[in-house]
Chains A and B, each alone.
Chain A
Amino acid sequence: MEIGYFPGCTLHASSRLYDVQTKEVLGELGIDLRELEDWNCCGATSASKTDDFLAIALPARNLGIADASGLSEMVIPCSACYSRMLVAQSRMASNEKLKAEINEELSEKVKGDIKIRSILEVMIPKAESGELAEKATKKLKGLKPVCYYGCLQTRFPLDIPVPDDVENPQGMEILLKALGVKALDWSYKTDCCGASAAVNDADTAIRLMSRIFKDAVARGANCFVTTCPMCQLNMDAYQNDVGEACGISERLPVYFITELIGVAMGKPVKELQIDRHFVDAVGLLKELDLI
């Protein structure tokens, strides 16, 4: 099965590893990805915070390209890109005038056909059909993850349907269960890491991340699992500062869901680029004899 793929800027830069893993893991599950041609930045929260038109128009160009691709669905692993594209599609569907104004500037017009999927939505059917368990045979014994969804995987404007539970999402838990891993219950799975505040309002972001980190440690987790590259980068790159701020000396690797699935599929660390974390992410896997 071939579906469209929108990597977005982060997966082509600081989270390249997520791009590599997504292709590896989905490929193994029989899902071939065709990267959208000549895609552009979705504008992320910078556009939605500062310019209402660009917030719709920037993702719209990608939607036009996707609609013209002849594919019926498209996966967007980055939570920010995923939510911005959903919002743009929905706004244009309900506002013909806006749609016409944007289409006027585009060579590939937005029709609104492409189905936008998160990386969880693409993999869950594979877990339910048993294919995931068939391909990912290595049992990840000893792993005690907390699933961290952050904001944009499940919280959208209210008129856009959420494909999971808003307050207590289960998508990652379902995938991990197929790998024989039970994720721990905790209270911060959809809390905000501060996103760009890590750069432009560091004190606030460190305090937000401290609460998340403290609860994960208190529950006895030995790692985080996430789908959002922003959450991953923040919880990973700033964990030393966060740990210092709340007096916790433990450090927990922050895995993308695709890393754990990749390991369970027996893929090598180098190939999955698990050696590119800020908090060492290879050590725990070795310690638990998983690689």
Chain B
Amino acid sequence: MTAPVLKFESETAQSFLEEVMSRSGQNIIACYQCRRCAAGCPVGEETGYVTPDRLIRMILFGDREKALSNDLVWKCTSCYTCGTRCPNEIQTARITETLKQMSKEEHIAPLAPKVAAFHHAFLTSTRHLGRLNELEFMGLYEIKNTFKDLWHLNFKSLYNEGISQTKLGLAMTKNKRMHFLIEKVKGLSEIKRLYKKAKKKRDSKEILPDQG
């Protein structure tokens, strides 16, 4: 798909680039646009014109708005294929992860709210018990989705979601893949302290180096 022409934002380009580079730990300026990453990206057909190389281009040009909110940022599965093949060792998965976090900090509504709800529910459930409880997690995730769909009166989406998750749940139970035991970690206070520290770091925008 043809990409729109990018405009170089001279005022903001450098600071944005520096922020993404230091937070993701990726040497974005080494990219020479060979597109090897794009050739192997499994979600390439789902993300319109935004391939890993073009996402990098957006960042280099300082197009903050587009870089923080596009399909690749939300559809990237962090499969690490692009980074494994990049001749300049640029791990785009780390860049999409960074951009997701930055867009959240800037209160930009996620392009894929279900993806955001999923990870939020996962980490909430893990915080609660120290281990992921699949039932609690799916419950939290569905509540968030349902609420959003009700709010927008999106009944079709509600219906489809209900059908697909019920189908999965029933099949899981039938095949004895569903387990109803609740496991709780004894050292839960340690986990809570780690979560607290994480929040402090998020709030103070502390950057952790070399996340590779």
Interface residues of A (CB under 8 A from B): 9-10, 12-17, 38-41, 43-58, 61, 87, 91, 94-95, 98, 101-102, 105-107, 151, 155-160, 166-167, 190-192, 194-197, 199-204, 207-208, 211, 233, 237, 273, 276-278
Closest 8 CB pairs of A and B: A157-B212, A46-B122, A192-B79, A155-B80, A9-B132, A200-B118, A46-B119, A200-B114
Whether B43 sits at the interface, judged by CB under 8 Å, is: yes
Q: Which single member of B104, B126, B134 contacts A58 (CB below 8 Å)?
A: B126
A41-B131 contact in complex given A192-B77, A196-B118, A201-B75, C-beta closer than 8 Å: yes
Whether B45 sits at the interface, judged by CB under 8 Å, is: yes
Contacts of A53 in B (CB 8 A): 194, 197-198, 201-202, 208
Q: Which single member of B84, B89, B112, B130 contacts A40 (CB below 8 Å)?
A: B130
Contacts of B197 in A (CB 8 A): 53, 57, 101, 105
Contact with A along B123-153 (1 / 0, CB 8 A): 1001000111110000001000000000000
Alpha-carbon distance A102/B84, docked complex (angstroms) = 29
- Contact between B114 and A102 (Cβ–Cβ < 8 Å)? no
- Contact between B43 and A49 (Cβ–Cβ < 8 Å)? no
Alpha-carbon distance A158/B164, docked complex (angstroms) = 37
Alpha-carbon distance A191/B43, docked complex (angstroms) = 11
CB distance from B102 to the nearest CB of A (A): 11
A61-B190 contact in complex given A50-B101, A155-B81, A195-B77, C-beta closer than 8 Å: yes
Tell me the nearest residue of chain B to A203, going by C-beta.
Answer: B46
Contact with A along B150-166 (1 / 0, CB 8 A): 00000000000000110
Alpha-carbon distance A50/B83, docked complex (angstroms) = 19
Contact with A along B181-212 (1 / 0, CB 8 A): 00101110011011101100110000011111
- Contact between A13 and B46 (Cβ–Cβ < 8 Å)? no
- Contact between B126 and A197 (Cβ–Cβ < 8 Å)? no
CB distance from A146 to the nearest CB of B (A): 17
- Contact between A208 and B179 (Cβ–Cβ < 8 Å)? no
Known: A53-B197, A157-B83, A199-B141. 8 other contacts (CB 8 A): A38-B187, A54-B198, A157-B80, A199-B165, A200-B114, A201-B112, A203-B46, A276-B177
- Contact between A237 and B194 (Cβ–Cβ < 8 Å)? no
Tell me the nearest residue of chain B to A194, going by C-beta.
Answer: B77
Whether B171 sits at the interface, judged by CB under 8 Å, is: yes
Alpha-carbon distance A9/B101, docked complex (angstroms) = 25
Contacts of A54 in B (CB 8 A): 123, 194-195, 198
- Contact between B84 and A50 (Cβ–Cβ < 8 Å)? no
- Contact between A201 and B187 (Cβ–Cβ < 8 Å)? no
- Contact between A276 and B101 (Cβ–Cβ < 8 Å)? no
Contacts of B194 in A (CB 8 A): 53-54, 57-58, 61, 102, 105
